[in-house]
Structure 1
Amino acid sequence: MTVHDIAYVELYTSNKKSAVDYFVSSMGFSRVAEAVGVDHSSALLRQGTVQLAVTTGPATWRFLGEHGDGIADIALTCDDVEEAVRSAVAAGATVTGPGQSRMGLAQGNPAVSAFGGTTHTLLPRDHGPAAGPPPGRNWTTLPDASLQDTSLPDAAAPEAPGPEAPEQDAPSGPHTGRIQLLDHIAVCLEGATLDKYGDFYRDAFGMSCYSSEYVDVGAHAMDSVVMRSSSGRVTFTLVAPDPGKGTGQLDAFLERNGGPGVQHLAFLVEDIIPTVREYRDRGMEFLTVPDTYYDSLEKRLPGMRAEVGMLRSAQVLADRDEWGDLLQLFSRSPYERNTLFYELIQRRGSRGFGSSNIRALYEAVERDRLTAE
């Protein structure tokens, strides 16, 4: 039942063209394959060891109606698929029928329920991120990072796939392929359910609790648990509002998302400051950090005093644990319902998430939420 890797993550979207443009133009992903079926159209994107499937069409409509644009499937590789299914069902999951994961199930790849509308397709250990496109679909490999689109009409009516249509060109200038891997996936859950889901990932997939954190900002608070596989390549950060406090950003996410779901994907980069500057130039929007944060940073981390000016300019957060430094920044959500956003993270030896950064990132999202209201 042990899981080893995330083979791919699948985004269901009402506007595939826009979603693909965002990843390719702003974040440097390459579009490597297309799959078109009766009820779906998918683009496969890659960068580093990350595989993203971006899918639209009738097969996605129920998910989109309930949750908005978001992560519908997180495919996990495991030692023994049949045993993983049995363990997941014993831990409370159900094997999904035709619906969200019908494209995988049609070819014999089982999927089990996870949280909200999100599932886990379970694949053999040898089908990791570098093993090729997700199985179960008729993929056509593209000869290069072409931006040609064969998407279905976006989720407005159940029409047949239309003809190929060219997408808009990406901004000029080469991408540097800055993303290395998927560092972690943050999942927003309902209050008082962290233990339930932590136990699920332990019992179903052999993951263990790496750390926990409670962030109290007075009017409301966030509780979190980090679950990690023994391989170190699958990390879920489970977060939930404290039901004993007032409502805040996590409650707002749960309302917009129609329940639990993936809040953000965190991508590991080698050098975050030039990455943020490049992505910002290419149109990606990030959350802002007040100057007072950097004023106190010089006192909190005196060893980074020489870097504070660059961190302030890029609006990057910094922290340190017993192993090294951690640099992070959240994007704004590019989706209409504000149901999913992204994180850039650089680890200079750090293995955790940084208590001060967790609070600062939470406060940054809260400021952005209050500004938008």
Structure 2
Amino acid sequence: MSATGRFTAPVRPAGPAAIQQGDRKSAVPPAGPRTAGSIECRRTRHIGWGNNVTAHDVEYIEILTSDLEATCAYFTSAFGFRARARGTAAGLEGVLLEQGAVRLVVAAGPAAAGHLAAHGDGVVDIAFACTDPVAVRDEAVAAGGRALTGPAPETLVVSGFGTVRHTLVRREPGAPAVLPARWDWSGVGPSAPAGSAPAPALAALDHVAVCLEAGTLHDVVRYYLDGFGFEQFYSEYVAVGEQAMDSIVVRSPSAGITFTVIEPDVSRKPGQIDEFLVRNGGGGVQHLAFLVEEIVPAVLEFEARGVEFLRTPATYYDALAERIPSLEAVIADLRKTNVLADRDEWGHLLQLFTRSPFERRTLFFELIQRQGAQGFGSANIRALYEAVERARAVTA
């Protein structure tokens, strides 16, 4: 942090190879005594090694929606994305949106009707950039995945978690991204009215939060280790009140892809994860986290343009200076914008979650600013859980 209390530009977290390696473990530690109304976190830091064939970055994320124009307007007018192209693909119309290193394909059409009825608006494809897509496809199938397309290298698709798939795109690390191959990009996409779009504030996709049905967490994690060469960063058990969840963070060795994978503890009362699974019709992407340089001005800008963020109790900030003394100079700004703070052994992070813009509340978004912080500390995951619990209380 600078002398003015401002944070410097974001740094993508280093890959797990930069972290001190511990024992390779896959089990979450056994539970200790739990009391209702308490907050409990147990974390096991470890690195699990996947194979040597890896996906290295998120190429794009495809979102199916019931209202293409309204969803595109949300991303362009409110969030400042730029529409690069409009295209069609097998009963779908789609728009490619870009901001910083974030690329979204928003799609709607007759081919989406069945999915939308069963699962609501949400992510259906997290495309991976790979040096060798054929090798990644073969490893994923060997690890228990399904090949969803034929053998043509330009159209390789494999199963992921829930109804989410992974299109495998041939691209070397550092090479520019290309237009998604399965689409006919024949048109220019819609754009926000002149002068209305904010300056780009989203630098990159920080992570993807995935909610799974109870009992499937470790099998899914093992699939990404063995099938895509990911590494297991650490596992954590979080209990908040009478609800609880297990989570494991997996990353590509490049740190270009990070999944926070979560399942509910069914021995406790149902909570937000269970509700998401019902609304989503099973496991899926709960939220996308966008990395920003300066979260406070980004929140003010996006909020003025219609993005709804979750509110934070005023009492949260009363103890923040004691919990993280180095943030004392910016607490007033954090309080004004409802931004949450966390720290780990490497530094700080600031974060805030949006309300879902979709009818079934199946997908929402996070802004995150990192100042050295590399992981997802217990307070970070706790903050997400509590933020969504506040949203549940408002909408109940």
* 1:303 equivalent among 316, 319, 326: 326
Q: Does 1:33 align with 2:106?
A: no
Partner Cα separation in structure 1 for residue 392 and residue 355 of structure 2 = 10
Partner Cα separation in structure 2 for residue 61 and residue 223 of structure 1 = 33
Q: Output one character per residue of 1:174-230: Cα deviation in whole Å (capped at 9) or x when no partner.
A: 511000100000000111221111101000001011122211113110111110010
CA gap of 1:285–1:363, structure 2 versus 1, over 3 A, is: same
Q: Does 1:94 align with 2:146?
A: yes
After the TM superposition, which residues 55-204 of structure 1 pair with which residues of structure 2 at under 5 Å, given as runs?
55-96=107-148, 108-126=154-172, 130-140=176-186, 142=188, 146-147=190-191, 170=193, 173-204=196-227
Shift of 1:140: 2.9
Unaligned runs of 5+ in 2: 1-52
* 1:44 equivalent among 96, 99, 102: 96
Q: State the match for 1:7 in structure 2.
A: 59
Give the letter for the 1:365 counterpart: V
Shift of 1:308: 0.8
Partner Cα separation in structure 2 for residue 282 and residue 66 of structure 1 = 31
Give the letter for the 2:172 counterpart: D
Given that 1:49 and 1:129 are in contact with CA atoms closer than 8 Å, whether structure 2 keeps it comes out as no
CA gap of 1:261–1:171, structure 2 versus 1, over 3 A, is: farther
Comparing 356-365 with 268-277, greater Cα deviation is found at 356-365
Partner Cα separation in structure 2 for residue 170 and residue 222 of structure 1 = 43
Partner Cα separation in structure 2 for residue 129 and residue 48 of structure 1 = 15
Shift of 1:106: 8.7
After the TM superposition, which residues 310-325 of structure 1 pair with which residues of structure 2 at under 5 Å, given as runs?
310-325=333-348
Given that 2:208 and 2:289 are in contact with CA atoms closer than 8 Å, whether structure 1 keeps it comes out as yes
Give the TM-score normalised by the residue count of structure 2.
0.83
Give the TM-score normalised by the residue count of structure 1.
0.88
Shift of 1:286: 0.6
> How many residues are paired up?
344
What stretches of structure 1 move > 2 A for 4+ residues in a row?
105-108, 125-132, 169-174
Shift of 1:119: 0.3
Partner Cα separation in structure 2 for residue 366 and residue 170 of structure 1 = 36
Given that 2:245 and 2:263 are in contact with CA atoms closer than 8 Å, whether structure 1 keeps it comes out as yes
CA gap of 1:283–1:231, structure 2 versus 1, over 3 A, is: same
Give the letter for the 1:133 counterpart: L
CA gap of 1:256–1:191, structure 2 versus 1, over 3 A, is: same
Q: Does 1:294 align with 2:317?
A: yes
Partner Cα separation in structure 1 for residue 317 and residue 111 of structure 2 = 46
Q: CA RMSD in A?
A: 1.9
Q: Output one character per residue of 1:25-54: Cα deviation in whole Å (capped at 9) or x when no partner.
A: 111000010103451101000001111001
Q: Does 1:221 align with 2:273?
A: no
Identity of aligned residues (%): 49
Q: Which has the higher contact order (CA 8 A, sep 6+)?
A: 2
